[in-house]
Amino acid sequence: MSTDRRYSEAEVAAIFERAAESQATGSVQPSGPGGMTLAQLQEIGRDVGIPAELIAAAARSVAVVPAPDPDRSYLGFPIGVGRTVELGRTLTDEEWERLVVTCREVFDARGVVRQEGNLRQWTNGNLQVLLEPGVSGQRLRLRTTRGDAAATISLAALSAGAGAVGLIALALGVTDRWADVIIAPVVAFLAGGGTLAYLAWRFPRWARERTQQMAAIANRLIGR
């Protein structure tokens, strides 16, 4: 980690809070408009009895910001979400094991753990938590998709469309056999339209829930 980066007053407060945990940090001076470097923070830490390595670890956690991945969508419906976190360090085996436990708790699923060289993953169906080499240290990627979403949306749209075409044909007088043909297009339109309405309600709720769960896992890992 570079010692030249300057931390804002809010970051300084967060760093000392995490480094000291239950220790008081009231003696910390405001950082000023230019901010403070890591070396300056460590100097203050020594004055109040906080080891330099704890300050550095806390600064790393403040620097890590979970970034949302572009959401995947199909015909306007969200079908995939993700989060990526550049950790800036390498997780220990114990930290990885705790991360797996957290995933099982948050997603309420046992999942499967695999390792291939430096790549580690916890998966449960389409839900994936991947630990891989990153720009500096390791990168944590969390992602999931609804595997059957595209087919379900397509079938519902096709049904609603076919039903609408049939009803329009009846309204335009293309056929006058109302009693024989009206049932099929009405059923198709209602079934397809009803399914689309349900998906328009369910899929955004699912996407928000998964996004919140991923953010919770990432924040717990980086100590937020």
Residues 96 and 162 placed together within one structural domain of the fold: no
Residues 48 and 89 placed together within one structural domain of the fold: no
**Got the DSSP string for 19-76?**
HHTTS--TTPPP--TT-EEHHHHHHHHHHTT--HHHHHHHHHHHH---EEPPPEEETT
Residues 137 and 154 placed together within one structural domain of the fold: no
What is the chain's mean pLDDT, rounded? 78
Residues 194 and 171 placed together within one structural domain of the fold: yes
* Cα(200)–Cα(222) distance, integer angstroms: 34
Classify residue 54: in a domain, yes or no. yes
Position 23 confidence tier, pLDDT thresholds 50, 70, 90: very low
> Which of 129, 146, 163 represents a domain boundary (last residue)?
146
Classify residue 100: in a domain, yes or no. yes
* Cα(206)–Cα(79) distance, integer angstroms: 9
* Number of domains the chain is built from: 3
Q: Which domain holds residue 133?
A: 67-146
pLDDT at 4: 56
For the entire predicted model, the pTM comes to: 0.66
Buried b (16+ CB within 10 A) or exposed e, 97-124: eebbebbeeebeeebeeeeeeeebbbbb
Say what angle helices 9-20 and 38-47 make with each other, to 10 degrees: 50
Phi first, then psi, for residue 7 (nearest 5°) are -105, 140
Residues 92 and 163 placed together within one structural domain of the fold: no
User: Could you tell me which residue, 39 or 158, shows the higher pLDDT?
Assistant: 158
In the predicted structure, residue 97 carries a pLDDT above the cut 80: yes
Computed over its alpha carbons, how large is the radius of gyration of the chain?
Answer: 26
Distances (CA, A) of 1 to 44, 59, 223: 18, 9, 18
Classify residue 159: in a domain, yes or no. yes
